[in-house]
Structure 1
Amino acid sequence: MCNSTVGENGTVPEMRNTAYALVFGSVMVLGLPLNAVSLWILLRRHSLKSPNAVFMVNLAISDLLLVISLPMRVYFYATGTWPLSTTACIWITMLFRNNIRSSSIFITFISVDRLLAVVYPLKSRHLRTSSNAWRAVALIWLFVVVMNIPESVNFSRELIKHNESTCFEFRQRPHSSLKYFQPLLVFTMLAVNVVCTALVSWTLRRRLNDSARVHNKVNVMLIFALNLIMFTIFFLPVSLAVVFPILRPSLTSLLCLASVNCCFDPLLYYYSFDGFWKKQEEVDSSTARE
């Protein structure tokens, strides 16, 4: 999954690995309480009665799964050693990949849900139900886990073949049919988010005369803007690095950057909106009136 310089001589590699450990450690320290509090508030105040709340809860769970995989990355880059088995390395690597994939899908579903609430508030009511959201969530997690099977098998074979005793410093050679999966998924989800942003922006622009709702419109567009930022900064660069060899030397740095997404979800997505502290029914009825 990534290429490190652990074990090389010189102060530059040592400083680089120390920086990696500090970044992953900071993400762990910030991401755990932020996402735990977000999950608690979502479960307590929103009660999973709307599709938006269902997708947000699973987004927080995805971020927490990423956070629990970070301690071993911190240990590895701080000490330069891997004390666990190959199986543990594979599991931790898959947790990292799953966060990028599941988060990108959940964020996209949140965008689609907001699109339906703003553009088709009445026609979409039979679609925007918590039961439909849970069906979608089950399919998403099943899809993500199933994709882990061939990747894990390939990763394990590569580690055994090259007699690797370390984890994150090993540069995996992904199978040709697998290495395009994540970039294709991220590009597809990004395209959906761009279309949703354009349609919602066009719809809200037609209602600018409703001055009483201007503040809510700004918040709605901020949601879509933040979603696009998540893709372009955190998800897309690391996905492209898997495909393009020119980016692979900086893959570990891009992985550090990608891990920061779990801190931005609660900070920039949840807490930036007053609706996060309200009952979800109030948020949806307010959006529908727009």
Structure 2
Amino acid sequence: MNGTNAGETERNVAYALIFGCIAVLGLPLNVASLWVLLRHHSLKSPSIVFMVNLAISDLLLVTSLPMRVYFYATGTWPLNSTACTVISVLFRDNIRSSTFFITFISVDRLLAVVYPLRSRCLRTSSNAWKAVTLVWLFVLVMNIPEYMYFPRQPDNGTVPRCFSFKPIQNSTGGAIAYYQPVLVVSMLSVNIVCTAMVLWTLCTHLSVSARVKNKVNVMLIFVLNLVMFTVCFLPMSISLPLVSTPELKPMVCLATVNCCLDPLLYYFSFDGFWKKKEDVDAAQELPVRGPPQ
């Protein structure tokens, strides 16, 4: 028993170090990315609207990580069970909102490359803001039933169970736990279709390919989207309703890494990231002068 407790303590210290490193790296990266997006780019571009909201989602997750570090490092929870639930829900909200925003970025690039003229009336900042508003409303609405069924920290002086998860068989939440895997798989499917369509267009339509600058960067965006889904989001989401906390903790760490990868993988993949607002529209609307459709 002592050996088991010692092993669990070592693992918790490792989790505290991992979450601490993610917080230390993710906070400045996302703050800097958000500042650059707002300072050097115009919110008239739908891509910028989606990326700004993606940065906000990541910042909400990063700000909750210090309490995870404290819990795993000390084995104690200084706040009440409500605070623990809120922090846990913020983590799940980040996955849900990020899947939407990343998918919106893929769809926006698909429309810009494959349907540059037809999509001009669709790819507007107004429509982008409507989309992100619906996403945040959806995330908030889904928090209500999840908060009701989330396991509570005991208040009887025993070892706290904050950030614990229960398999679906033992949870009163029923089918609620299944909607996140369905969401992630659905959004992943959309990203796969977008990637295939853009790759096919660039390879078979020479007129489009000739007008798209930095085709490697364009495809890199789609490839990195797929990597984010398959490495960070998918393992955690599929396992969430099926396994208990000990088996899930490594996947939680892996999923949390997305808040550090988003600024590096998506924001800096675009040409003109550091350019001023008057220069960025042309960089973002890369294939607007495409062939007649």
Report the TM-score when normalising by structure 1.
0.90
Distance 1:160 1:81 in 2: 11
- 1:159 aligned residue (131, 146, 152): 152
Q: Which moved more, 1:114-123 or 1:9-18?
A: 9-18
1:166, distance to aligned residue in structure 2 (A) = 2.1
Q: How does 1:28-47 map to 2 (within 5 A)?
A: 28-47=23-42
Identify the residue that residue 266 of structure 1 maps to in structure 2: 263
Residue 167 (structure 1) shift: 4.2
* Structure 1 alignment gaps of length 5 or more: 1-6
Please state how far the C-alpha of 1:280 moved relative to its aligned partner.
3.3
How far apart are 1:273 and its partner, in Å? 3.4
Q: Distance in 2 between matches of 1:169 and 1:144?
A: 19
Secondary structure in 1 aligned to 2:175? coil
Q: Which amino acid aligns with 1:15?
A: E
Structure 1 distance, partners of 2:128, 2:86, is 27
1:270 positional shift: 1.3
Alignment of 1:79-158 (within 5 A): 79-155=74-150, 158=151
* Residues 1:38 and 1:151: Cα distance change in structure 2 (over 3 Å): same
> CA separation of 1:167/1:87 partners in 2, compared to 1, >3 Å: closer, same or farther?
same
In the other structure, the counterpart of 1:221 is 219
Q: Which residue in 2 is equivalent to 1:254?
A: 251
Equivalent residue, structure 2, for 1:180: 178
Supply the AA of the counterpart residue of 1:267.
L
State how far apart, in whole Å, the 1-side matches of 2:3 and 2:82 are. Answer: 25
- Give the deviation of 1:285 after TM superposition: 3.4
How far 1:249 sits from its partner (Å)? 3.6
- Deviation of the 1:213 alpha carbon: 5.6
Question: Are residue 70 (structure 1) and residue 70 (structure 2) matched?
Answer: no
Contact 1:186 1:239 in 2 (8 A): yes
The answer to whether the 8 Å contact 2:164/2:245 transfers is no
User: Compared with structure 1, are the counterparts of its residues 28 and 192 closer, same or farther at alpha carbon in structure 2 (3 Å cutoff)?
Assistant: same
Question: Matched residues, percent identical?
Answer: 62
Write out per-residue CA displacement over residues 179-207 of structure 1, whole angstroms, 9 at most, x where no aligned residue: 10110000000000000001111111124
Which residue does the alignment assign to 1:236? Answer: 234
AA aligned opposite 1:255: V
- Shift of the 169–55 alpha-carbon distance from structure 1 to 2, 3 Å rule, reads closer
Partner of 2:201: 203
- Give the letter for the 1:177 counterpart: A
Does structure 2 retain, via aligned residues, the 8 Å contact 1:59–1:103?
A: yes
Give the conservation status (yes or no) of the 8 Å contact 2:213–2:286: no
1:218-246 deviation digits (Å, cap 9, x = unpaired): 1111000000000000000011111333x
Distance in 2 between residues matched to 1:8 and 1:93, nearest whole Å? 29
Please name the residue that 1:56 is paired with.
Answer: 51
